[in-house]
Amino acid sequence: MTTLMDYDAMATVPRRLCPKCGAAAVVDDNQPIWPINFACLNCGHAPTVCDGVPLYAPDLADTISGFDPKSFEMLAEIEDEHFWFVPRNRMLVGLIEKYFPTARNVLEVGCGNGVVLTALARKGAKQHLVGSELHPSGLVVAAQRMGKNAELVQMDARHIMAENAFDVIGAFDVIEHIAEDEAVLRSAHRALRAGGGLVIAVPQHPWLWSTADEIAYHQRRYKRGELEAKLARNGFVVAYSTSYCAMLLPMMIISRVLERRRKKSVGEPTMPDLEAKPPRLINAILRSILSFEVSTILAGMQYPVGGSRIVVAIRS
């Protein structure tokens, strides 16, 4: 298969950026992208370090900025076995391996508890495997999972403090939380090397809007084609795009209809327990269904509708 990574074309030097003055500093191959002892040679600024994690957006740390940090605890309880997370993680890692098999420098923005980073680490050595997250409370769990297998940094996804530094950037159910979603795409474009790529997942179909979106502080569910158009506007070429959770779409529709009826009769929004913490047997059945769907996606199938949209795009 022809790969979408061409290291011969990547002549630009990777650089980290100072969050205060924007000055660039060259990153050597044997260095972390954002070392904990970093100090800007131009202005002297040194990011605060908390529990071994440098803070590049300390004013936003653990605030309700598009996400409630308290949710990390709940997610940590379910995401290792949940029917939605487990197949999804295999899909995301599989797409990175398929489209960028020689990638050595990978960043996941909004890495949360580090569940996808952990799956990436199992797939083989990377020179730099980096996770950024706005909320340090999520990075605490990620650090426990990853140990020394990844570099972790607190950072605003709209302002990735690097240029030409990564072969792949992943943003998995992140940008729907951010009003300025195209700022994240622009920032990712700058941080990627020429020929590098972005793998991105977002919730899809505004008509599926539910209490789950409200609880998660989503700004939007994406219309079909909306994400691809935004990527094109910000210097990316779409290589692959598909819906995910297509096989469970009828169940999602029924769940939304029942929820709206419940809201009318009760007047208070509640998230169905069946989605968050389904019984073990139901979880196993749904997980098997999505695992089959993921296998077809990794084989190249594209689904027109589904609860999520997954896109692989190349930096032009």
Domain ranges of the chain: 61-315
Cα–Cα distance for residue pair 70/68, rounded to 1 Å: 5
Name the CA dihedral angle for 69, 74, 75, 76, rounded to a multiple of 10 degrees. Answer: 100
Centre a 10 Å sphere on the Cβ of residue 26 and count the other Cβ atoms it contains: 9
Query: Which pLDDT tens digits describe the chain residue by residue (316 residues)?
Result: 444 444 443 458 999 999 999 999 999 888 899 999 999 999 999 999 988 899 999 999 888 777 777 777 778 788 889 999 999 999 999 999 999 999 999 999 999 989 999 999 887 656 789 999 999 888 988 988 888 888 999 999 999 999 999 999 999 999 999 999 999 999 999 999 999 999 999 999 999 998 889 888 999 999 999 999 999 999 999 999 999 999 999 999 998 888 877 766 555 545 555 677 889 999 999 999 999 999 999 999 999 999 999 999 999 9
Task: Decide: helix, strand or coil at residue 228.
Answer: helix
pTM above 0.95, yes or no: no
Angstrom distances, CA of residue 259 to CA of 47, 209, 228, 272: 45, 11, 30, 8
Q: Does domain 61-315 have CATH number 3.40.50.150?
A: yes
